[in-house]
Amino acid sequence: MRAVFVDTYFWIAGLNPKEELRDEARDAEAALGNVRFVTTESVLIEVLNYYAGYQPYLRQAAVSFVRQVMVNPKVEVVEHTHETFEAGLRLYESRPDKGYSLTDCISMNLMRERGVNEVLTHDHHFEQEGFIILL
């Protein structure tokens, strides 16, 4: 089954009805059909960090959303380990001319490791590394 990586912004767009790319994210997901989604705990940490400064009800909505993602059989959530951190840090260190976040680097490493070429994001950093962005 085809695998597609899911980056932070896709989850944020799915949760927040006011996000600019919400409709585009929904359309992209519908167009994919039957795929397996792959994401990381690091990405889910970014989603929760995004909502840290919001009102308590939105923070709780984010927690509920992340918990749903974690038990969704269509989504594989890859755990964060010291090894993934170290590998991400090496990629981060090797790209001083880029604006990649450490989470991006961890995600890109996983995508390469798994042979996943497509990512649900609008983040052009992935495109710079040769991946196909779907938003």
Overall size of the chain counted in residues: 135
* Identity of the residue numbered 128: Q
For 3-133, CATH number out of 3.40.50.1010, 3.40.50.300, 3.30.200.20, 3.30.70.20 equals: 3.40.50.1010
Place of tokens 């951190």: 85
pTM of the model: 0.92
CB within 8 Å of 17: residues ≥ 6 apart: none
Instruction: For residue 78, give the H/E element and its range.
Output: strand 75-78
Domain ranges of the chain: 3-133
pLDDT tens per residue, the chain (135 residues)?
899 999 999 999 888 777 788 888 888 888 998 999 999 999 999 999 999 998 898 899 999 999 999 999 999 999 999 999 999 999 999 999 999 999 999 999 999 999 999 999 989 999 999 999 998
Instruction: For residue 57, give the H/E element and its range.
Output: helix 56-71
Rounded-to-integer distance, Cα 119 and Cα 7, Å: 7
